[in-house]
Structure 1
Amino acid sequence: MKTNLFILLALFFIFTGCEDLLSPADENNPTLENIYEDAAYAEGLLLNAYVFLPSGSYSFNDVATDDAVSNDPNNNYLAMATGGWSAMENPTSRWVNSYAAINYLNIFLAETDQVEWATTGEYVKEMFNDRFKGEAYGLRALFMYYLLEAHAGKDAGGNLLGVPILTEPLDGQSSYDIPRSTFEQCITQVYEDLTKAESYLPLDFEDIQEGELPSKYQGKTSVSDYNRVFGAYNRQRLSTRIVKGIRAKVALLAASPAFNETTSWENAADVAGQVLDLIGGVAGIDPQGGTWYSKENGSTTDNLVVGTNPQEILWRTNVSEESDLEPDNYPPSLYGSGRVNPTQNLVDAFPMANGLPIADGASGYDENNPYVGRDPRLNDYILYNGSVFGPGSSSILTSEDSGEDGIGAIAKSTRTGYYLRKLLREDVNLDAANKANKKHYVSRMRYTELFLAYAEAANEAWGPDGSGSHGYSARDVIAAIRQRAGISQPDNYLASISSLADMRKLIRNERRLELCFEGNRFWDLRRWNESLSETARGMRISSNGAYQVVNIEKRQYQDYMNYGPLPYQEVIKWNMTQNVGW
């Protein structure tokens, strides 16, 4: 956070920022003092932190794992996975953007009590100040989580380090020679910020009726003024429900094998359970949650009322018809570039529809008909040879000599024999003569992720069938997810699992399947201390219909890479401790 680049970026945005919020009138250059009487200018500091959120689109860092490769030779994650990952070239870095956002938030928090947030309404100014403080503390915690996920690691002595903790604003005159704090100190700071955020924010931004004023504001304000500050028009900005979801993600990271020094599995299960209890626990699982993005659910997306969420979504971006998903990832026969190619490794992780892994001799798997009788999620998430897909319900053929969709046929063809299906709306038409866009949004956080976080933590804390104080177990959660997916019932494979270790293996596989292509696997493998080095494989189908598994891309990671690097220039310039190996 000590680079000249950061200083220039921070100062530029602080004094220019978003055009509609922060631009001064002609020949009226703003200074920091302007925020005290200009509420829009002051709020702009907070809103600029939202701009730095990394989940405005899907990263597809799956290409850096065993789940996918790319046919784009210039893909940064491809370079990373094949030996190009370094402290100078790091596409997973969160350093500059996160610290830029944190500095905005620190400036905002230092000044917000002096801002004239409202000129009418006896208690409105204080309510605005409460709300904005809550958002700022919650965002600061979230950006610290991103930094820890990407940059926490061990020094040569085996000490687990976090990143520099910044709670005061910095400018060009500040000292940037700030040492790394321990991971434990960073997690403590994150939890403190999340607790402050919850103390200021409502559970959800909703309009209330007479008699529903929170006790904190009773006798101080009116319902209309409360709705002016905390009403429904603020949906998708940080609320207590979202903050609780962030806490669950932080606790899961901190309890995981690579970082487990500060947070117990019991705590991680409890904080995830607190979010799930708000929707009724396992009973609240969305029957369509696994395919919330699909054409079949398109009407839900198309008709979303501003700010509202489908049942599966806790936090999302705005709805837009502008998306690169289909142009980048449709097969070439549908005018796409076929960029993200799922691997055979991932395909093999999908069980049979009876729930048994394909390696189980009783599963019924036929290597000569490998896609028959499989878990329905395989067809939902991946295009394989013979899949029917697209606005014209075309058959996608990936075998040799089958045309441009065939493996390696042209530059835009698949390298693995598979194309991406998940996240794509197949009612989008890229044909210039019949072009049709459709609405999309990006899920920042969805409930299935939190169900899986609870299952993982509950299993580690209490075993497959323990439930703590929440009334549902890891087995209950996984049963509900697999039943929703279409696994045959009763699920005899799940019923056969009795040990914590076997349930752990199943939960991790379910997480891999349910969350594939949403940017989780790279971080999951690292927090589990699992290998990143499994060779990416594909399926070559000959013109006579013979199936052959082939190696596609060798991964070139070292064991120390389970912890990512700090930016090289930071370490050199300020003599900071680098994570071991980098």
Structure 2
Amino acid sequence: MKYIKKIAVSSALAASLFMVSCQENFLDVVPTDRVSDASILSDSVLFEAYVLNRYMGTRLTDKEAEGTNPGFGRGFEYAMWSSLTDESIYNNDDNTWLIQRGQIAPENTGIAGTLWGRSYRSIREINYALANLEQVPMSEGKKRSLRGELQFLRAFRYHDLIRNYGSVVLMGDKVTEISDDLTSPDLFKRSDIKAGIDYVSAQLDEAIALLPASNDNNNWKLGRATKGAAMALKSRILLYGASPLYNNAATWAQAAAAAKAVMDLNKYTLYTGGYGNLFTSNDNSEIIFGRLYAIGARHVCLEIANGPNSYNAWGGNVPLQNLVDDYEMKDGTRITDANTTYDAKNPYLNRDPRFYATILYNGATYRNSTIETFTPGGKDSKDGPSNWNTSKTGYYMKKFMNDNLPIDNPWDVAGTQTWIYFRYAEILLNYAEAQNEASGPDATVHAAINAVRQRTGVNMPILPAGLTQAQMRERIHNERRIELAFEEHRFYDVRRWKTAPVKENVPAYGIEITKSGTNYVYTRKEALTGKSFVEKQYWLPIPRAEIQASNNQLTQNQGY
């Protein structure tokens, strides 16, 4: 985050506070790399810095987001969450293929193994701050806003736990200590999903009442919680809770009302500067809450991590044909429709404009050149330079990439894009889905989804009148797939809808393009063998080490 560079608090603080409080009498030597409890609680600046560090986390595994920003949400890590879905695969595996192939286990969680431990570590740190906030010398107004931030942060952590594991342990305000009875069953009792959803929703209601409408300081504008951020999180968690997987943990009416509350703020609007530019502008009216980055801070440089091999890039998260096929034609027909305008000999012609802003394909213009994934001889195929980074799918990622940032030697220069946690288009789609399920495809449902489709620079046709609830549901599902591609929604959407057994059991397809004279022959291929989804994968397994650390009192998710 931009502001983290301005905070003179050790990134080891999160780990050291617990150790300092437990070992203060062990030695009379004051460590130079740690800040004591007393210092933090007696200094309002240090205490606020401690709160701000809760927007971060500890890097617990290789290839997570580097430098100043690991651990709070994911986004912009080498292997993105999209590469655990039918959106993309990670070209060089990095512990993603086992999840794609349905081989995840408590002993082998791939890149998905740090969520449980990191989240509870953060919850303890937040509880520590909440327990001691009142004794910090600062104004009541400042305490009020910091309390709201901490409750938002705790709610965000629980939302991440719930959407990955289902039922979770609700710690309340408890700050665990080594002196506690760590064998107590109460410490490891998992509440049902509804209790978790209710708790998060209640925490967010309290946070909404305390948080400011906006952050006036530009350095903090998007990177700290606001009322809108808390309301957006409430919209998402209630949408999840109303979904089939969550077994009526919330109602569709509640989810629709939560999304409508964000809309009624009249604070956020759809970005009008072009769909692709939305993700590189860093600050615009559509972003509700995001992670800010700063030049000079070491973190993942998207362009080299994901770009094509002929540009000396690594071809990281490469889109699947499965996703490409779901983009509509510019006239609104789908490629499988009887009246489609799709031409199999020119498959990338006249597609939804969001396709061109999201995916690099054979013939796409890129950095004053043209993408060539064909063989023989295509510079972005296996016949090109750095061919060990050639896309296994025949596509490369375009979304999030800033063509003005360098690919060669990008360190400490590139990777400056804001990672968006919540944006207004998601809220509109949340509302459309929830309202359709609650009341059917009324005029407000059409208005919400059509606003997304007709944003400036996209201008897709409005949906036809007369759709049934089931037909509208199908259109909303696909609209989320296209509009929110690679933004860490697909993994959770197909699970909560319980469509994953169908969607995630389709082979991971790519495209093989053979050039013959001036013509191209397109042949579908299997880019990653063995793609599989089984029912237990609706939820992640709790890592075996966490079960063992609880003396086997923590129950495992079914099937593992």
Q: TM-score, normalised by structure 1?
A: 0.81
Match 2:426 to one of 437, 446, 449? 449
Task: Name the structure 2 match of 1:292.
Answer: 277
Structure 1 equivalent of residue 195 of structure 2: 185
Report the CA distance between 1:454 and its aligned residue.
Answer: 1.2
Question: 1:116 and 2:137 equivalent?
Answer: yes
Match of 2:122 in 1: 101
Q: Does 1:474 align with 2:445?
A: yes
Code of the residue aligned with 1:511 in structure 2: it is R
- List aligned pairs for 1:171-250, cutoff 5 A: 171-176=177-182, 177=184, 178=187, 179-206=189-216, 234-235=220-221, 236-250=223-237
- The match for 1:132 among 146, 167, 182 is 146
- Counterpart AA for 1:257: P
Deviation at 1:12, TM superposition (A): 2.3
**Alpha-carbon distance in structure 1 between the residues aligned to 2:466 and 2:212:** 41
Q: What are the residue-to-residue correspondences of 1:495-574 with 2, within 5 Å?
A: 495-531=464-500, 532-544=504-516, 545-553=520-528, 554-572=530-548, 573-574=551-552
Distance 1:408 1:267, change over 3 A: farther
Amino acid at match of 1:401: P
Report the alpha carbon displacement of residue 263 of structure 1 after superposing the two structures with TM: 0.9
Deviations 1:272-316 (A, max 9, x none): 1111121278xx33223632346xxx6x44xxxxxxx31121112
Residue-by-residue CA offset, 1:463-518 (whole Å, 9 max, x unaligned)? 1115xxxxxx1211221222227666754xx2155111111111111101111111
Aligned partners of 2:335 and 2:498: how far apart in 1? 25
Check whether the contact 2:91–2:318 (CA below 8 A) recurs between aligned residues: yes
Cα distance change on mapping 1:292 and 1:183 into 2, 3 Å: same
Aligned length in residues: 506
State the Cα distance separating 1:142 from its structure 2 match. Answer: 1.1
Q: Distance in 2 between matches of 1:527 and 1:37?
A: 45
Q: Work out whether 1:575 is the aligned partner of 2:553.
A: yes
Superposition deviation, residue 326 in structure 1: 0.3
Query: How far apart are residue 39 of structure 1 and its match?
Result: 2.2
Q: Distance in 1 between matches of 2:181 and 2:172?
A: 12
Q: Which moved more, 1:55-64 or 1:450-459?
A: 55-64
Compute the displacement of 1:335 (Å).
1.5
CA–CA distance in structure 2, aligned partners of residues 9 and 439 of structure 1: 25
Stretches of structure 1 that go unaligned for 5 or more consecutive residues are 1-7, 18-23, 118-124, 153-160, 207-230, 302-308, 467-472
> Quick one: structure 1 residues 371 and 77, their matched pair in 2 at CA, closer, same or farther if it must change by over 3 Å?
same
Aligned-partner residue type, residue 469 of structure 2: L
Letter of the 1:135 counterpart: E
The answer to whether the 8 A contact 2:242-2:248 is kept is yes
Residue pair 2:315, 2:390 contacting (<8 A) in 1 also: yes
Give me the whole-angstrom Cα distance separating, in 2, the residues matched to 1:277 and 1:535. 42
Indicate how the Cα distance of structure 1 residues 199 and 501 shifts in structure 2: closer, same or farther if over 3 A, else same.
same
Partners of 1:375 and 1:486 within 8 A in 2: no
Aligned equivalents of 1:31, 1:488: Cα separation in 2: 56
Choose which of 255, 259, 264 in structure 2 pairs with 1:268: 255
Sort the Cα spacing of 1:412 and 1:323 in 2 relative to 1 into closer, same or farther, 3 A.
same
Inter-partner Cα distance in structure 1 for 2:267 and 2:218: 22
User: Which letter does structure 1 place at the counterpart of 2:108?
Assistant: E
The alignment partner of 1:320 has SS state of coil
Pair 1:404–1:174, CA change in 2 (3 A)? farther
Q: Is the 8 A contact 2:55 2:72 kept in 1?
A: no
Amino acid in the other structure paired with 1:290 = Y
Q: 1 CA distance for matches of 2:409 and 2:457? A: 37
Match of 1:78 in 2: 97
The answer to whether the 8 Å contact 1:400/1:542 transfers is yes
Give the secondary-structure state (helix, strand or coil) at the position aligned to 1:69: strand
For the residue of structure 2 that corresponds to 1:539, the secondary structure is strand
| SS at 1:411 equivalent | helix
Contact 1:345–1:537 (Cα < 8 Å) also in 2 = yes
State the match for 1:396 in structure 2.
371
In structure 1, what is the Cα distance between the partners aligned to 2:396 and 2:349?
A: 18
**Is residue 366 of structure 1 aligned with residue 339 of structure 2?**
no
1:227 match:
none
Which residue does the alignment assign to 1:65? 85
Aligned mates of 2:393, 2:99 — CA distance in 1: 19
Identity %: 29
Q: Deviations over 1:176-229 (max 9, x none)?
A: 4421111122122212211221222222233xxxxxxxxxxxxxxxxxxxxxxx
What are the equivalent positions in structure 2 for 1:414-425 lying under 5 Å apart? 414-425=391-402
Secondary structure in 2 matching 1:196: helix
CA change 1:450–1:534 in 2 (3 A) is same
1:46 aligns with 2:60: no
* Offset, 1:109: 1.1
1:57 deviates by: 3.5
Q: What is the SS of the residue equivalent to 2:389? A: coil
Whichever residue aligns with residue 277 of structure 2, its letter is W
- Aligned counterpart, 1:169: 175
* TM-score, with length taken from structure 2: 0.84
SS at match of 2:157: helix
Residue in structure 2 matching 1:148, options 158, 162, 175: 162
- Cα drift, residue 251 of structure 1: 0.8
